Amino acid sequence: MNFNSLYSHAKLQMHLCMLFIISGGTNPERDRSIEMASNGNGNASVATGKGSGGRNGLPKIQTQKRQNAICHDDTAPTVKAQTIDELHSLQRKKSAPTTPLDGVQGAFANLTEEERHKQQLQSISASLASLTRETGPKLVRGDPARQSETPRVSHAPDHHFAPTFSASDSSLKFTHVLYNLSPAELYEQAIHYEKGSFITSSGALATLSGAKTGRSPKDKRVVRDETTEDELWWGKGSPNIEMDEHTFLVNRERAVDYLNSLDKVFVNDQFLNWDPENRIKVRIVSARAYHSLFMHNMCIRPTAEELENFGTPDFTIYNAGQFPCNRYTHYMTSSTSIDLNLGRREMVILGTQYAGEMKKGLFGVMHYLMPKRQILSLHSGCNMGKNGDVALFFGLSGTGKTTLSTDHNRYLIGDDEHCWSDKGVSNIEGGCYAKCIDLSREKEPDIWNAIKFGTVLENVVFDEHTREVDYLDKSVTENTRAAYPIEYIPNAKIPCVGPHPKNVILLACDAFGVLPPVSKLNLAQTMYHFISGYTALVAGTEEGVKEPRATFSACFGAAFIMLHPTKYAAMLASKMEKHGATGWLVNTGWSGGSYGSGSRMKLAYTRKIIDAIHSGKLLNANYKKTEVFGLEIPTEVEGVPSEILDPVNTWSDKKAYKETLLKLGGLFKNNFEVFVNHKIGKDDKLTQEIVSAGPKF
């Protein structure tokens, strides 16, 4: 039977079925033209035997009367829904019941689900409350686009809304709270509402951070009050730019008013620090799904039980980055302001949508809070061997910190931020924030494979049809990034904690070519080079000549520290001495001459050096001391040519080597001048000890 015949046959079936229904059942006259035959299941069938032809040569239709005289196809069960909205509600089932809270003490313990939701909204309303009004905003849970799903309204505790002459328009509206959404839900929000959001071919979410594609350190300010006046590092060399309490409150009010004016806000309640005894509860209120997913990845994700019992956060971020600050406000120098108030435990972001401001802002908070508990906060990578030996890796951009700390033979505890307590080390974060420029599967397979569903890709360029990312393209920015949960790394250690470190490795990319490939440091030298935070960048000069440019960043993360660098250094030395850790200075830069005449240290040699440190073999090597810096260098390392271990051997021009060595030593001395006058404790004995560990000439 051809297509036309089938189509005619189907139409005839439909007409006969309708005729049967309209007639109210059987009819003797009609039944003489339509032969009734039961096929056992109540369905109509086609009579195909001889003499069964119908009009126009079509086969006869055999049908059967059904109960209530209705003819229909019941080969599959019908959907249990009366409306399309009901059908859509069946598509999404409620989350599984959360872990019972038997014996749990906290704000939300022993409450019904409705009561917990109400208290969560009350807590969020309190966070979003204006300082000039009695109550917080009126909140409801859910997406405003799905009005039928919106539950009842909740206000701040013990307050009811009653319009008065002083009421504002914002107090008359509801703000929808999208609370701790999953990555899938955030994908939907971003793609539907945020221009510039796309799903790439690998499944990652590509987003844009707007005009700012990096941090704005000159626009970051900290409230200077009676407490922080004496505690924080202020003045020359400090990253802490001061502001007063009043100006902070002006900016806070601006951010809160902006967030409350929106139809919906995203709220993340999460943790910092994998050490459960010293973790910090953080709340992030933001206007973009991109920001919510970014922080979902970068902070530690709470379990269902932990979320139910979350209570009041220890620190809150108000990210109103799409809205500018008022440039006429005191202390403001641009439309961007990132403001930190350690007394109120709050952070306000205005005028920048770059998500890294949230990550690094919280890192600064940890640099303030953790030392108060005698816990050292560190800007470092951290991995652990199969025998439990832990190593910390410090290094600025381009030193190889990510490459060397990511070792398939060792477990990754974290790639960027850590704490060292009396129990050992712990990762501060729940994710990784990797650079993507020039990324390839061959060079960084772990990062490449981590860029999948759930990952945020910032400011990358991709093919408009295939959505394949071009990691070489710098059209938007060179600072392209990927933010993904640490679980996406195959050898990540979960939970991200480990015992006390055995090795502290300071990485430097010395483009001057005068530092040894590896040096063993005593405690004073470790503190000196930790405070210095040295590496060298290559910058173009006139007439095509290129020379190295020294870069120093205190504690290998000057932009994020809150206290004076010597305080972190003293804590580091104390913990190293107590737990028997060894300090190492590893040069991943140039050998045989400065940049332009020498050559970059081979990665294979550096890996051999790192392996010898991990195994403990380098501790038993023979050492000799270098001039100027007074570094102890091994005479041999397995797998590394002995002649390159002392940089003077690799320079053909010995005079040029000595001049370059003295030049670098002078740069170190000049940089350290800002730290010389700072005293630790009642006297400056420790400071003098650190200074004496520097270059001598």
Q: Among 94-98, 458-462, 464-468, whose mean pLDDT is lowest? A: 94-98
Nearest-angstrom CA–CA distance, 630 and 585: 12
pLDDT band at 498 (very low <50, low <70, confident <90, very high): very high
More confident residue, 421 or 309: 421
The pLDDT of residue 577 is above 70: yes
Nearest-angstrom CA–CA distance, 123 and 349: 21
Nearest-angstrom CA–CA distance, 343 and 232: 12
pLDDT at 356: 97
pLDDT at 134: 65
pLDDT tens for each residue of 673-690: 988 876 665 555 667 889
Nearest-angstrom CA–CA distance, 557 and 379: 6
pLDDT at 149: 47
Q: What mean pLDDT is predicted for residues 315-320?
A: 98
The pLDDT of residue 45 is above 80: no
pLDDT band at 40 (very low <50, low <70, confident <90, very high): very low
Pairing, β 582-587 against β 518-521: antiparallel
pLDDT at 639: 97
Highest mean pLDDT among 172-176, 258-262, 680-684: 258-262
pLDDT band at 547 (very low <50, low <70, confident <90, very high): confident
Q: Among 93-102, 370-379, 526-535, whose mean pLDDT is lowest? A: 93-102
- Please name the residue that has the structure tokens 């974060």: 429
632, 519 Cβ separation under 8 angstroms? yes
The pLDDT of residue 234 is above 50: yes
pLDDT at 537: 80
pLDDT band at 155 (very low <50, low <70, confident <90, very high): very low
More confident residue, 371 or 143: 371
Residues in Cβ contact with 494 at an 8 Å cutoff, skipping those fewer than 6 apart: 486, 487
Burial of 118 (0-12, 13-18, 19+ CB in 10 A): buried
Nearest-angstrom CA–CA distance, 417 and 382: 9
The pLDDT of residue 21 is above 80: no
The pLDDT of residue 266 is above 50: yes
pLDDT at 676: 81
pLDDT tens for each residue of 639-676: 999 999 999 999 999 999 999 999 999 999 999 998 88
Per DSSP, the three-state class of 465 is coil
More confident residue, 205 or 142: 205
The pLDDT of residue 60 is above 70: no
Helices 356-372 and 565-579, packing angle to 10 deg: 60
99 phi-psi bin (left φ>0, alpha ψ -120 to 50, beta other): beta
pLDDT tens for each residue of 504-528: 999 999 999 999 999 999 999 999 9
pLDDT at 535: 95
Q: Among 11-20, 198-207, 430-439, 663-672, whose mean pLDDT is lowest? A: 11-20
pLDDT at 368: 98
Nearest-angstrom CA–CA distance, 226 and 6: 88
User: What amino acid positions are annotated as catalytic residues?
Assistant: 215, 360, 379, 397, 401-402, 416, 481
